[in-house]
Homo-oligomer: A and B are copies of this chain.
């Protein structure tokens, strides 16, 4: 998968995932990897900065949770503003796809 194509889709992906419930970083990476059958492996260097940025803009929030074995995990959850932003992003995504499709032509 071309890296350049992915650019800009990360926030949409993250917001969409968190819409299903709170998740922590490592879990997000694994989930994406598994759901795409290994096609797409979200990189840590892309994930964490994106997550922090989303948190800084108040679209998501985070909290630490201690597991039974004593280890910590940082969970992220969607905030109402993030929910709204996701809706807008989805719309934008659909427009974008339609736009490109108009030039590329319908799917084979």
Task: Name A's B-contacting residues (CB within 8 A).
Answer: 1-9, 12-13, 16-17, 32, 35-36, 39-40, 89-90, 92-97, 99-100, 102-105, 107-108
Contact = CB atoms under 8 A, between A and B. Distances in A.
Nearest to A94: B107
Contacts of A97: 97
Contact of A104 (B3, B8, B12, B103): B12
Given A6-B96, A7-B7, A13-B103, 8 more contacts: A1-B96, A12-B103, A12-B104, A13-B100, A32-B103, A39-B95, A40-B99, A97-B97
Contact of A9 (B5, B32, B107): B5
A35 B102 CA distance: 8
